[in-house]
Amino acid sequence: MMRVVITGGTGLIGSALARDRGEAGHEVIILTRDPARTGSLPPGVRAVQWDGRTAAGWSSLLDRDTAVVHLAGESIAAGRWSEARKRRIRESRVESGRVVLAAIRQAPEKPRVLLQGSAVGYYGRSGDEVVTESHLPGDDFLASVCVDWESATAEAESLGVRRAVLRTGIVLSRTGGALPRMALPFRLMAGGPLGNGRQWVSWIHLADEVGAIRFLLERDDARGPFNLTAPRPLTNRDFSRALGKALHRPSLAPAPGFALRLVLGEMADMLLYGQRAVPQRLLEHGYAFQYPEALGALRDLLD
């Protein structure tokens, strides 16, 4: 049995992972600022208070049979990117990463593995180029955040802790994240591509996101960056067609780029520019996707 300590354990990915590991018989600990607000937790899962700024009260939870999954960070899609909000997006990831590293330093026994959260935004605006884990980082805001986020815990490797980095794409789930908001215009018969529709969408079904994390927890030879994306990314136009098909709705009403920028400001770039990321290292290590095709994934979630 493994103890799995999750930061960001009340979010979309963290809560699904906690449920999966708890049901498998592992001890799961969610670190949260307010344990009382976590509500009813699945069997095998408990919440421990964490202020996000110190290792006090939880570094003692770490030992050689512990895995740490660091997913904490303020949502990048919860509002327009003011300078203050951009600062919080960066600091929530970097500072919490430094605290995770401090907890590992203080632990009497080092954990078995650290899985460090990140995103395919690491690669910046890469156009039509197929992006694997060896691709250099981009130079925009999200890319710089991902670089700093990953760097915050890099020292764990020199402490003897196996570390894998989770560069995640758009996670598709029926209960949260991007998909319900993406589907709403289609349900209202007003769905279509965003901007020119030529930007790439690197997506992953929530079941494969959790499955890939579980796979990386268990593979002792899995180190370094891994793209957590389905093996077949689509252009936004083709993804929109698949979404319309899954919902039995047309995909005819494009959202002009200028309108998105008017409403969302700089955050619109996240929708108008993408990455054609593929999970090369995950496939090389032998992970088998449950949902490699977008239409199958969308039908599973939306039917």
Residue 43: the pLDDT is 87
Per-residue pLDDT tens digits for 124-165: 999 999 999 999 999 999 999 999 999 999 999 999 999 999
Scan for tokens 């890319």, then name that residue: 143
Query: pLDDT value at position 117?
Result: 97
- The domain spans of the chain are 3-169+205-229
> Region 48-75: what's the mean pLDDT?
88
pLDDT (tens digit per residue) in 140-149: 999 999 999 9
Q: Give per-residue pLDDT as tens, 173-222.
A: 999 888 888 888 888 888 888 888 899 999 999 999 999 999 999 999 99
Rounded Cα–Cα distance for residues 45 and 25 (Å): 10
Question: What confidence tier does 275 reach under pLDDT thresholds 50, 70, 90?
Answer: very high
Which residue, 183, 204, 211, is CA-closest to 17? 211
Look up residue 243 and give its two tokens. Answer: 């979404």
Average pLDDT rounded to a whole number, residues 24-39: 86
More confident residue, 39 or 270: 39
Q: How far is CA 213 from the centre of its chain?
A: 10
pLDDT at site 296: 97
pTM score, two decimals?
Answer: 0.94
pLDDT digits (tens, 9 = 90+) for 216-269: 999 999 999 999 999 999 999 999 999 999 999 988 877 766 555 655 566 566
- pLDDT of 34 higher than 80: no
Task: Please write the tens of the pLDDT for every residue from 68-93.
Answer: 999 998 887 777 778 888 899 899 99
> Which fold would CATH assign to domain 3-169+205-229?
Rossmann fold (3.40.50)
Q: What is the pLDDT of residue 87?
A: 92
Say whether pLDDT at 1 is over 90: no
What dihedral angle (degrees, nearest 10) is formed by the CA atoms of 130, 135, 136, 139? Answer: 30
Mean pLDDT of 285-297: 98
Query: What pLDDT was estimated at residue 229?
Result: 98
What share of the chain has pLDDT > 90, as a percent?
Answer: 67
Report the range out of 1-10, 16-25, 49-58 with the highest average pLDDT. 16-25
